[in-house]
Amino acid sequence: MTNALTAFIKSANLPAFDEEAMAAAIDASQEEEGYARSGGITFIDFSGKMNQYRVGKDRDPIDPEALFLLEPISATKGWICWKGGKVVGREEWPYLNKAAAISAERLDDHGPYREGDGWKPVRGFGCIALDGSAGNYKFSSNAAGARNSIERVLTEVSAQVKRGQPSVPVIKFSSESFTANDHTNWKPTFPIVAWVTREAAQAFFAGGSLDDLLAGKQPKQLK
């Protein structure tokens, strides 16, 4: 079986990395902002009004029990510009590639804007299905609740790295309700089922057992 983890990293055009650099990049980005579409990737989005994930061009629902390997180095941040209900601009870069960051002052002006239009901050991450398909997916959103949920996972990743513990999370796609202006809405959440190492993930995608992966069993040798 193709090594899906390596294939995902290559398809996403991610920079060379080490885990300490990843943790430092997450920390620096979160400190700055107040937090303590190609290559065979299928996109996932979330409707807060409908409490519904939608997968791919067919807008299929997602299995709430499905497991995904969230690749921390695929985490992205950036900007998305809405106008009249349509995306008219998007700028995005990996956390690890701070040199590619674009400040608000450098964004193109697509105005005039109506209320609610304009550039919004966006966050995203890539993940790999653990159902045997090794499908590559990306979730991104400019909604505040979604961005906070993503940052929460990345904060935990950074903490795992600093503790010297496995730092690649296995997640589910879930949600929780909240009330704003007397209206109930929903935000996506990404509960962590297990923490694994990259070596264990690579062993799984090479034909290993999901039970071994979730149990934290480390491969003796990778081929």
Q: What pLDDT digit, counting tens, does each position of 77-123 carry?
A: 999 999 998 999 999 999 888 899 999 999 999 999 999 999 999 99
- Identify the pLDDT of residue 38: 45
Instruction: Output the CA torsion 186→188→193→199 (10° steps).
Output: 180
Q: Give the Cα separation of 61 and 59 in Å (integer).
A: 7
Q: In this structure, are residues 219 and 200 in contact, taking their beta carbons and an 8 Å threshold?
A: yes
Distances in Å between the Cα of 26 and the Cα atoms of 194, 208, 210 are 20, 30, 28
Q: Give the Cα separation of 80 and 102 in Å (integer).
A: 12
Q: What pLDDT digit, counting tens, does each position of 170-223 carry?
A: 999 999 999 888 888 999 999 999 999 999 999 999 999 999 999 988 887 544
Q: What are phi and psi of 12, to 5 degrees?
A: -90, 0
Work out the number of other CB atoms within 10 angstroms of the CB of residue 40.
9
pTM for the model stands at 0.83
Q: Which helix (H) or strand (E) holds 161?
A: helix 144-162
Q: What pLDDT digit, counting tens, does each position of 135-173 carry?
A: 999 999 999 999 999 999 999 999 999 999 999 999 999
pLDDT band for 36, please (50, 70, 90 cuts).
very low
